[in-house]
Amino acid sequence: MSIFGAEVIGTALLILLGDGVVAATLLNHSKAQNGGWIVIAWGWGMAVAMAVFAVGQFDGAHLNPAVTLGLAVKGSTPWSDVPKYVGGEFVGAFIGAVLVFAAYANHWRPTEDPGLKLAVFSTAPAIRNTVANIITEVIGTFVLVFGVLAIGANKATVASGLVPLLVGLLVLAIGLSLGGPTGYAINPARDLGPRIAHALLPIPGKGPSDWGYAWIPVVAPLAGGALGALCFDWWFPG
């Protein structure tokens, strides 16, 4: 399978399960409505694990432009492959969001709050403060990329075949510990792809897609991912 194809499939699965758990807990008349933050964090963690298990054997399953950038900065991914990874990630994220829209087709109209509908697709800060929101996303993505590299550097862990599950648990930990301020995008494709889908899809009663905030979950995770890779190489050279 090509890099682009694997990233499309893996990221689509990631968003289908990740945005799907948000839809399940937020939309009216869902049996999982009001499941809460812990359900969302677990859903996202398992979404990452399942997506990495699904396509990791083909291309390493980046599923995230911040991870791709971090691995390119580290030298683990050729820069010539970066467009293939990133293109697949954004296309897959859009497809996954469309599938969530279809899966919850009966629940958009009964949900009156347009903010809840947008929250299914993209992140938003609990308190809007540009500098603070950027710092939170940089820290969260730093932990993600640094953690992924640390997990992958352990030969015994890699040999166990449990890397995808451990990466999913890492995302769960980030969500539980650092997700409260911004909703922990920590992935430009995860936020921007579904946000574009929200803008284009015929969602009944939807509001604006909050484009004024949209650049933060793109730029900050990229910075955090690059910083995480640089610091890993600095602290653990060789």
Kindly report, residue by residue over 29-86, the tens digit of the pLDDT.
999 999 999 999 999 999 999 999 999 999 999 999 999 999 999 999 999 999 999 9
For tokens 């296309």, the residue is 91
Give the whole-angstrom CA distance, residue 125 versus residue 230: 27
Give the whole-angstrom CA distance, residue 185 versus residue 190: 7
Q: Show the domains of the chain with their CATH numbers.
A: 3-235 (1.20.1080.10)
Task: State the sign of the Cα–Cα–Cα–Cα dihedral 180, 55, 155, 49.
Answer: positive
pLDDT at position 1: 87
Is residue 230 pLDDT above 90, yes or no? Answer: yes
Q: What is the average pLDDT score of the chain?
A: 97
The answer to pTM > 0.85 is: yes
Give the whole-angstrom CA distance, residue 202 versus residue 167: 34
**How much is the CA Rg of the chain, to the nearest whole Å?**
17
Give the whole-angstrom CA distance, residue 129 versus residue 113: 23
For tokens 């933060």, the residue is 216
Is residue 238 pLDDT above 70, yes or no? Answer: no
